[in-house]
Structure 1
Amino acid sequence: MDSHHQSNYKRSKTEKKFLRKQMKARHTLLRHEGIETVSYATQSLVVANGGLGNSVSRKQLLPVLEKCGFVDALLMPPNKPYSFVRYRTTEESKKAYDTLSGKEIVDDLGQKITLYLNFVEKAPWKELGLQALPPGLTVIEEIISPEDEKMLLESVNWTEDTDNQNFQKSLKHRRVKHFGYEFQYENNNVDKEKPLPGGLPDLCDSILEKWLKEGFIEHKPDQLTVNQYEPGQGIPAHIDTHSAFEDEIISLSLGSETRLEGQMRKRKNQIVMDFKHPNGVTVPVMLPCRSLLVMTGESRYLWTHGITPRKFDTVQASRGHKSGIVTGDVEDLTLSKRGIRTSFTFRKVRHTPCNCRYSLVCDSQTKETPPSFPESDREASRLEQEYVHRVYEGIAGHFSSTRHTPWPRVVEFLKALPSGSVVADVGCGNGKYLGVNEELYMIGCDRSQSLVDICRERRYQAVVCDALAVPVRSGSCDACISIAVIHHFATAERRAAALRELVRLLRPGGKALIYVWAMEQEHNKKKSKYLRENRVSPGREELTSNEMSAQEVPAKHTPDLGSQDSARPVPSISDFQEGGCDSRKATSSKLPIHTNRTPFHSQDLLVPWHVTGNPGKDRPVEPLGALGSSDPGAVFHRYYHVFREAELEAACRTLSDVSVLQSYYDQGNWCVILQKV
């Protein structure tokens, strides 16, 4: 082959490779984000990989786009790895499509990424709308002078003798010091009988007196925790324990200022703290350096607060924007690089029980009244109907969009079966395991008609039925799988009945694989994928979407598990007086509502599902009455019984004619392989 033909061959090969990636980006946007691209030129383009979610800021992307024409609007949705650009004319957008598709740019982390552009009819992004700060929350900017900030930072001696009671060398790589009382991260509390010597530093004491006099705070604290955060570190979503501290909790954010490139002016470092109501509403709050956050009332007692561990925050681009919430104005969002942040969190230790209005999240008021659970099979069935069946029926389209990658050990089980085996997938969902091994005869069943319809659209054999009464002849299956199903049954008797039904389907010698959620999300000193998902990826994977853990959590979460203590659950399915929960009362039970991406604190609970984006092009989510709206942003609650270690295995061993072949832990799930003998 001569050099001319060789050059053409290489160019053709490169173009084909690019077109494959272009198609993959288009497919990923539609599949995971509901963004439909078109094959003809329009004024608007979606820029894949050019988003705040993968470390591309407005100041980097806009100049690149403006080289192709007049940019009418650049919309950068928060935490998304793509953006939308609208040009003044179709000719300008076509020029951008031709010249920028496949172009490499450098992101804010200094790494190269490739842009992929596709035409869209219009940017399908709805603004979040302006929200108010949570009730009782105040942010006061410039509460201290730069000189006082410097003195406070210098007053913290991080190198002193580690035998000193005030000193804690590190907390998962974070430096921490305590004054007044030691904050105990293992239980979010203090030992009220063991105050630390010396009290609060004199400099803090004088500043607190000034704030009291000026009316910024109402009570003088007697406990201080100083934390130093490197970029990329965060705080898990939590509520400060009611019984440990009085109403008012204040946090002073300190940190260096950074000089913007090519500009003489300085911009204050700012960090975003997310406040979340139990009904799923999240308000991102900007905290500049030298600002004071004051939490009282509802914001202190009811809303969780946390900081996502990441190196950049999505903030307002407007120079004159004051501290407060990050609005949904996608034309005014950019990235702010984090620096080292030191927080001074002041609290006043409580010496009497808390009697706040939020009794269902108050440990003082719920300590002696543990949650009640179904007392009869009828009550359990009603709870499951309300908080399992109706929820899955409503979220089927969105749920299916997050279920695409089979779990390796389930695939291993199915591929090890002999060719021609008859296999039942009981609780098959959208059927992601039904096509794993084409040598098997597989039938799926699920309680949700909408999920079974999805299976049938994919040409799988599936029927609608209850897992307690599968319409398959006894002894007709060579194998069964039950993946993330049995934990939805509300009593031990009903869970045992579901296991017996699996065994009934098996022929003698047949095997069943069972997965259930584990109470223990940290096993052998390793965190499950469920907890690790809180870490925000810098977006190095170009518009790929990893499958979530077998624990069925939606594709979009509130990622707030950082390096601090475990978060407390936010209980209460029914009786919040303020804000209103999207669920109605579950029979006579009062079940805790779990905070996603945190350890489990109760075996029986309700887990939120947040509907995000487009739930499915041709499969709108039906409204569920009191369970909430089908619109993006709606929150639904599913009942779970999370299993303790050996609990599933013990339940299997109570069955007659069954041998437990294997019991293991897999990424936050307890798993059993049993055989009918």
Structure 2
Amino acid sequence: MEISGINQQSQKLSKKEKKLRQKQMKVRHTLLRHEGIECVSYPTKSLVIANGGLGNGVSRCQVLKLAERCGLVEALLMPPNKPYSFLKYEMLEDSKRAYDSLNGEDVASEDNTQNVVLYFNFVEKVPWEDMTPSTLPPGLRVIEEVVSPEEEGQLLECIDWGKDEVIPNAQKSLKHRRVKHFGYEFQYDNNNVDRDRPLPGGLPDICNTLLAKWLKMGYIKESSDQLTINQYEPGQGIPPHIDTHSAFEDEIISLSLGAGIVMDFKHPDGQAAAVMLPQRSLLVMSGESRYLWTHGITPRKFDIVQASQEQKLGTVTADIGDLTLNKRGTRTSFTFRKVRRGPCKCSYPSVCDSQCKVTAPSFPDSESEASKLEKEYVHDVYEQIAQHFSSTRHSPWPRVVEFLRALPRGAIVADVGCGNGKYLGVSKDMYVFGCDRSEALVNICGEKKFQAFVCDALSVPIRSGSCDACISIAVIHHFSTAERRLATLSELVRLLRPGGRALVYVWALEQEYNKQKSKYLKGKRAGNSNMDETISNAIEEAGDSESQDSAQPDGGVSPPKDRYCSANEAVSTRLPVHTNRTSFDSQDLLVPWHLKDGTKKKMGHTKLCQPVTSSENSQKCSPVFHRYYHVFCEGELELLCKRLNCVNVQESYYDQGNWCVILEKK
């Protein structure tokens, strides 16, 4: 009996080890596919730790404490916002010991909200060079200890929070934040002020004294006449935005009191910089950093910061990056601006509301106008951005893959609006062909050896009833009238045999649903889930709704009679232009795409910038193209489908900023 028990225990251990190795292999594939990190099957001194990253809420101290069980650590690299880290031991034997004994280790995140399982793999190449100190965006300065602790106390005491102001038309992320305005009220619905309605009293006297001091010391170039005070509790933030060019002069300055914070800056071409704003520091934005880069604060309770001397304790002999997690405190920001009295004449006309030459088209009133709008603001645009667009579309979305893999072996599937063909190779057990209006995107499919052809989704040259299934992913929202959207759905159903199914995805008006923000609002960053989901979800483009960057909405379009959701109705028939990473204010709009230059850039990790003076302003600006979208409100897609008599709606669901339906042909 005793021998039998030992054998059973041995079998259990081998099964556990086998499962662990399978997880490791899955992680290796994910790291290579999404991050370009190549793991090796032979022992090396360097290891990549999946799930053991700052993006998972795992701190530097936690990783070191665990790693030092196995030997002397030579270097530890923890890239910001990534769900993995790199570890290098002084001895190969120690590295092998960590691989054998630490794989599958369960670790609690720093805030104790979840446990993560760590997976170790050997690597030869580690991107140590990517962690070299990064300069600030051009035109950005951070001046530390600009006020004394006594002045900080006086500034905080001068705020009468007993008369909290309510933010009109605020997004949900702003509603619980304390805010006060002086000089002029900042209007959150259009990022502007009413110049004809100054607030009584002007700025507080202590602020005017400090502004005069900073002007004399050369920190700023001009004084301010508008002040917004915000108080951020841990976990609160502000969406990425650019202060409207025509509203304020060149300099925007922000004083951080009570606690420090990391502010995220992003360039239209994808460059990102995380800038640490220490307590009592002054941020000065001008030039490119003010006019071209978005700035925002990610809602979270921990920031990624430079490790203090106490946090560096251990056997590490060559700290690389020195980054760790820091718990946020209550921060109060004093943001000063000077109201502009004339048009903006900055060096970035393509994104300047004073100089932008783009005349937004009107909402189409006829079939011919709709066709013309779609040609200019959909078809022609995708022809010009095809290569760049394709470079941002790598990973199939899990629920689309799930739909395809549930189909029977040998099924015939049409991907109508296939783009670069990322779903055409999902399964070899079925015949999948694609079609798209863009010849340039179809050519990319051909380069991948996929079967695809050029056609309009309104008229697909395939025999009726010849397909077992169809998919239409992020396509129908490009049609500019309800009639044309319905006709596209009808064409999908025509291709299906009786009993055949279609999956349809469209952008959702509701980018925050069931208390969860879509990745479009949050931007691309690693989440707090285990490695199996973290990298694949964080790296892949969010719901085809990453529009790269865009401008501020300034109006809306009255929805047709069959729309019943509460999109803002506008006083103008012009299509508004949407702001990147913000909620949609209108159902019909133009979404800008900032085209990168022809050279393919390797996107490295977001770097934490040090407070140093930046270089001269760059005046280069990416070309901007505008795509037409109709974003669907809850229930609208399902209602549109039910207007077709020959289908049953099997399922309707929300998936990361998209409304989705599965139809079955009767």
Q: Secondary structure at the match of 1:23?
A: helix
Whole-Å Cα distance in 1 between the matches of residues 477 and 373 of structure 2? 16
Offset at residue 46 of structure 1 (A):
0.9
518, 521, 537: which one aligns with 1:529: 518
Offset at residue 89 of structure 1 (A):
3.3
Distance 1:92 1:341, change over 3 A: same
Offset at residue 106 of structure 1 (A):
4.5
Whole-Å Cα distance in 2 between the matches of residues 207 and 116 of structure 1? 52
Query: Are positions 1:216 and 2:219 aligned together?
Result: yes
Q: What do the CA deviations read for 1:376-411 (whole angstroms, capped 9, x no partner)?
A: 9899769867743575556657623x2140249x93
Whole-Å Cα distance in 2 between the matches of residues 528 and 277 of structure 1? 22
The one-letter code sitting in structure 2 at the alignment partner of 1:45 is L
Query: Are positions 1:95 and 2:97 aligned together?
Result: yes
Report the counterpart of residue 565 of structure 2 in structure 1.
Answer: none
567, 581, 600: which one aligns with 1:629: 600
403, 415, 427: which one aligns with 1:411: 403
Report the counterpart of residue 158 of structure 2 in structure 1.
Answer: 155
Offset at residue 308 of structure 1 (A):
1.6
Offset at residue 255 of structure 1 (A):
1.6
The one-letter code sitting in structure 2 at the alignment partner of 1:595 is N
Report the counterpart of residue 22 of structure 1 in structure 2.
Answer: 24
User: TM-score scaled by structure 1?
Assistant: 0.72
Query: Are positions 1:292 and 2:282 aligned together?
Result: yes
Q: Secondary structure at the match of 1:205?
A: helix
Whole-Å Cα distance in 2 between the matches of residues 165 and 637 of structure 1? 31
Offset at residue 342 of structure 1 (A):
1.0
291, 311, 316: which one aligns with 1:301: 291
538, 541, 563: which one aligns with 2:530: 541
Whole-Å Cα distance in 2 between the matches of residues 200 and 344 of structure 1? 11
Q: Is the 8 A contact 1:226 1:345 kept in 2?
A: yes
Whole-Å Cα distance in 2 between the matches of residues 418 and 605 of structure 1? 38
Q: What do the CA deviations read for 1:144-188 (whole angstroms, capped 9, x no partner)?
A: 001111222232232x2558999x999422222222222222222
Q: What do the CA deviations read for 1:638-666 (whole angstroms, capped 9, x no partner)?
A: 8632114589989x999x99878669784
Offset at residue 40 of structure 1 (A):
1.4
Offset at residue 356 of structure 1 (A):
3.3
Counting only pairs closer than 5 Å after superposition, residues 113-192 of structure 1 correspond to structure 2 as 113-124=116-127, 127=130, 131-158=134-161, 160-161=162-163, 171-192=174-195
Counting only pairs closer than 5 Å after superposition, residues 341-420 of structure 1 correspond to structure 2 as 341-366=331-356, 369-370=359-360, 387-388=381-382, 391-392=385-386, 396=390, 399-400=393-394, 402-407=395-400, 411=403
Distance 1:629 1:524, change over 3 A: closer
Distance 1:278 1:600, change over 3 A: farther
The one-letter code sitting in structure 1 at the alignment partner of 2:349 is S
Distance 1:161 1:229, change over 3 A: closer
Report the counterpart of residue 573 of structure 1 in structure 2.
Answer: none
Whole-Å Cα distance in 2 between the matches of residues 37 and 82 of structure 1? 13
Q: What do the CA deviations read for 1:429-471 (whole angstroms, capped 9, x no partner)?
A: 5464887897x87544454354467686xxxxx4344445755
Query: Are positions 1:280 and 2:273 aligned together?
Result: no
Q: Is the 8 A contact 1:245 1:348 kept in 2?
A: yes
Report the counterpart of residue 259 of structure 1 in structure 2.
Answer: none
Whole-Å Cα distance in 1 between the matches of residues 392 and 246 of structure 2? 39
Q: Is the 8 A contact 1:137 1:293 kept in 2?
A: yes
Q: Secondary structure at the match of 2:230?
A: strand
Q: Is the 8 A contact 2:393 2:541 kept in 1?
A: no
605, 627, 635: which one aligns with 1:640: 627
Distance 1:192 1:633, change over 3 A: same
Query: Are positions 1:198 and 2:201 aligned together?
Result: yes
Whole-Å Cα distance in 2 between the matches of residues 147 and 497 of structure 1? 68
The one-letter code sitting in structure 1 at the alignment partner of 2:628 is H
Counting only pairs closer than 5 Å after superposition, residues 357-506 of structure 1 correspond to structure 2 as 357-366=347-356, 369-370=359-360, 387-388=381-382, 391-392=385-386, 396=390, 399-400=393-394, 402-407=395-400, 411=403, 422-428=412-418, 430=421, 432=423, 443-445=433-435, 447-451=441-445, 462-467=451-456, 470=460, 472-477=462-467, 480-487=470-477, 502=492, 505=495
Q: Secondary structure at the match of 1:315?
A: strand
Unaligned runs of 5+ in 2: 311-318, 555-574, 606-621
Query: Are positions 1:605 and 2:594 aligned together?
Result: no
The one-letter code sitting in structure 2 at the alignment partner of 1:187 is N
Q: Secondary structure at the match of 1:60?
A: helix
Distance 1:648 1:499, change over 3 A: farther
User: TM-score scaled by structure 2?
Assistant: 0.74
Q: Secondary structure at the match of 1:642?
A: strand
Q: Secondary structure at the match of 2:249?
A: coil
Distance 1:9 1:175, change over 3 A: same
Q: Secondary structure at the match of 1:632?
A: coil
The one-letter code sitting in structure 2 at the alignment partner of 1:333 is L
32, 35, 40: which one aligns with 1:33: 35
Distance 1:191 1:661, change over 3 A: farther
Offset at residue 347 of structure 1 (A):
1.8
Q: Secondary structure at the match of 1:300?
A: helix
**CA RMSD, 1 decimal:** 5.0
